[in-house]
């Protein structure tokens, strides 16, 4: 898994959108998700402002700034995995609107760029917020190779992503 995390970070950092990004909205991986630790550290070392989500009681997301591994704390959530959230003060749900790249967790992405999330709707709200503001952030999903599939059912509110990054490479949509 550690090797996959390093490969994922390297591939994600090769994206032109990431190379010119000043602010990246990211997340700390949990459970069996592809590891994001190496990527977060590399972005932080580059001087990129990294925003991490804070889950609100209504499943919307607030955002805080990542300042290194010591700036993140595990927060147990009832009925969920422990989420790793930033310690700093909340910036508000609209902070994501300033991101140049938004890294999205997911269970799968299909050949059209349709992303399957975990079903809580948190990132659907983020994507709706970005769309309503006509934000130009690049939407990128980090997955394992087997999680890129031919076709997923889509819903009218789905917003396609621009790219999926896996340990073996990047696919653009």
Distance CA 42, CA 99 (A): 17
118 is in an annotated binding site: yes
Distance CA 163, CA 172 (A): 4
121 is in an annotated binding site: yes
Distance CA 168, CA 39 (A): 15
48 is in an annotated binding site: no
172 is in an annotated binding site: no
Phi and psi (nearest 5°) for 122?
Answer: -60, -50
Distance CA 87, CA 17 (A): 27
88 is in an annotated binding site: no
92 is in an annotated binding site: no
DSSP for 36-84? -HHHHHHHHHTT-EEEEEEE-TTS-EEEEEE-SGGGEEEE--TTSPPEE
Two tokens, residue 58: 């209504």
164 is in an annotated binding site: no
Phi and psi (nearest 5°) for 91?
Answer: -100, -15
Which residues participate in the annotated binding site for ATP?
115-123
Which residues participate in the annotated binding site for substrate?
28, 33
Which residues participate in the annotated binding site?
28, 33, 115-123
């Amino acid at each position: 898994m550690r090797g996959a995390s390093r490969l994922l970070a390297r591939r994600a950092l090769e994206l032109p959108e990431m190379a010119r990004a000043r602010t990246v909205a990211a997340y700390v991986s949990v459970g069996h998700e592809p590891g994001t630790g190496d990527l977060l550290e590399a972005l932080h070392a580059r001087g990129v402002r990294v925003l991490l989500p804070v889950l609100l009681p209504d499943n919307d997301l607030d955002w805080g700034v990542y300042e290194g591994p010591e700036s993140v704390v595990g927060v147990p959530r009832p009925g969920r995995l422990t989420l790793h959230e930033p310690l700093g003060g909340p910036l508000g749900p609209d902070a994501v609107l300033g991101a140049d790249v938004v890294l999205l967790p997911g269970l799968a992405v299909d050949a059209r760029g349709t992303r399957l999330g975990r079903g809580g709707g948190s990132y659907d709200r983020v994507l709706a917020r970005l769309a309503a503001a006509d934000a130009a952030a690049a939407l990128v999903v980090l997955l394992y190779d087997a999680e890129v599939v031919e076709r997923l059912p889509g819903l009218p509110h789905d917003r396609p992503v621009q790219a999926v990054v896996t340990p073996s490479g990047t696919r653009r949509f």
